[in-house]
């Protein structure tokens, strides 16, 4: 069975607390408070290396392919330390807003190694991207092409590298809300309707734009290569059709992200296996079409940062309630929908948890793990068994919380967002993001 805990995690035993990166969780909670996101740096770098090395090996020129680049999807989680580490491990950066772009640039990521996404980019965001010399602007609609062209014209920019985000019609992913390649949704230019071809023609005809690539993204939490394989082949067919119609064989194709991770017991395919399967698809399809192979890129986010993070919480109130089929024990912790619970609320996502400060003993009790917000849906785990000896102040740990947790965090109920702290054997903890304070919240209030 797949294990959701990072490599350095050692569970609590008796009175001894759990450890991560060689550090006792009680020590981390005492120094940084709870909730706190704890990054297993060694797990994280291993995942970065798996992507960079796996993509390079699968798409190596000596195998008749044109190489591959890996863009870390900043939307999963970003800060300057994260981007600096990604750059050091050979990754590039995919950003989806002006804020994410600013973080990448502040971290020293070269503009040409950044790709800008977004279905509704503002003039300010596009202007910032042009000034930074980003390596690709992924356009999402016909109207955006003319909008970008005008901004580039006004600024005197030429040969702006444009990728077209194409809706290939392949529907994949664990939830309809994170499946992004079917027709009836906000992202992309439809292959089947002809919108993608029309967009290609518009970019080629624009004097200051360059049709540099095609892009796809078919969903999230995808565990095998089949969906990406089918969508990649469709994208390569479109590439050949564009070459025949407008005379440009785009040099790059981005196969997107969406690669799954283990939250409970899911079994995602290894990165090298996914990359190899897609390399075979690219080679076969290009041979069948009689086109030169393109350079390939990927945009993993969750599969890089997700399993490398554990969130620590402190137990607060507990109470028993009577339900139709017996009793349920409600255990509340000191976070909630302002940090991790938003994913279970939006997507029905599932997690596991461990008592991390000690083994409290006591007969297991049917439990529900809930946050502290004024919302009845503020539920982290609906059904789990927790030991009956659990008490206020005990620490709970929840793994695989690196993606779409701190990045989606809010100040609902005016709670402050938690710190992010990286740990590694033989090194001092490194604060990647400090915990917010109530003073931080009041800074935005001119009446305070």
Q: Which residues are catalytic?
A: 374
Nearest to 346 by CA among 377, 323, 371: 377
Nearest to 281 by CA among 52, 65, 62, 54: 65
């Amino acid at each position: 069975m797949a294990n959701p805990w990072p490599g350095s995690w050692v569970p609590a035993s008796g009175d001894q607390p759990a450890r991560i990166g060689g550090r006792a969780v009680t020590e981390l909670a005492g120094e940084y408070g709870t909730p706190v996101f704890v990054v297993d740096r060694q797990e994280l770098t291993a995942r970065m290396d798996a992507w960079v090395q796996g993509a390079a090996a699968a798409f190596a020129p000596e195998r008749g392919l044109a190489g591959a680049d890996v863009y870390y999807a900043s939307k999963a989680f970003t800060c300057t330390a994260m981007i600096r580490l990604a750059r050091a491990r050979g990754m590039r950066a995919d950003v989806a807003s002006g804020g994410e772009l600013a973080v990448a640039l502040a971290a020293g990521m070269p503009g040409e190694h950044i790709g800008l996404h977004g279905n509704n980019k503002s003039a300010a965001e596009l202007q910032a991207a042009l000034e930074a010399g980003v390596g690709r602007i992924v356009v999402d609609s016909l109207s955006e092409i003319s909008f970008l062209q005008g901004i580039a014209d006004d600024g005197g920019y030429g040969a702006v590298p444009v990728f077209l985000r194409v809706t290939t019609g392949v529907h994949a992913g664990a939830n309809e809300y994170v499946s992004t390649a079917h027709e009836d949704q906000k992202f992309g230019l439809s292959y089947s309707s002809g919108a993608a071809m029309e967009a290609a023609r518009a970019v080629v005809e624009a004097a200051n734009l360059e049709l540099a690539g095609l892009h796809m993204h078919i969903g999230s939490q995808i565990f095998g290569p089949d969906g990406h394989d089918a969508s990649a082949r469709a994208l390569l067919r479109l590439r050949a059709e564009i070459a025949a119609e407008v005379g440009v064989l785009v040099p790059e194709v981005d196969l997107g992200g969406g690669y799954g991770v283990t939250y409970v017991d899911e079994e995602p395919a290894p990165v090298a296996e996914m990359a190899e399967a897609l390399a075979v698809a690219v080679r076969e399809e290009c041979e069948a079409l009689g086109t030169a192979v393109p350079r390939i890129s990927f945009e993993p986010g969750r599969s890089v940062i997700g399993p490398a993070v554990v969130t620590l919480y402190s137990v607060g109130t507990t109470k028993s309630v009577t339900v139709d089929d017996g009793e349920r024990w409600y255990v509340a912790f000191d976070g909630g929908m302002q940090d991790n619970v938003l994913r279970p609320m939006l997507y029905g996502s599932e997690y596991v948890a461990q008592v991390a400060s000690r083994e409290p003993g006591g007969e297991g009790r049917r439990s529900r793990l809930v946050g502290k917000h004024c919302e009845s849906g503020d539920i982290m785990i609906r059904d789990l068994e927790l030991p009956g000896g659990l008490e206020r102040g005990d620490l709970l740990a929840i793994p695989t919380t690196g993606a779409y947790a701190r990045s989606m965090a809010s100040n609902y109920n005016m709670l402050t967002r938690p710190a992010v702290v990286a740990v590694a054997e033989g090194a001092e903890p490194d604060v990647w993001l400090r915990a917010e304070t109530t003073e931080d919240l009041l800074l935005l209030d001119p009446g305070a």
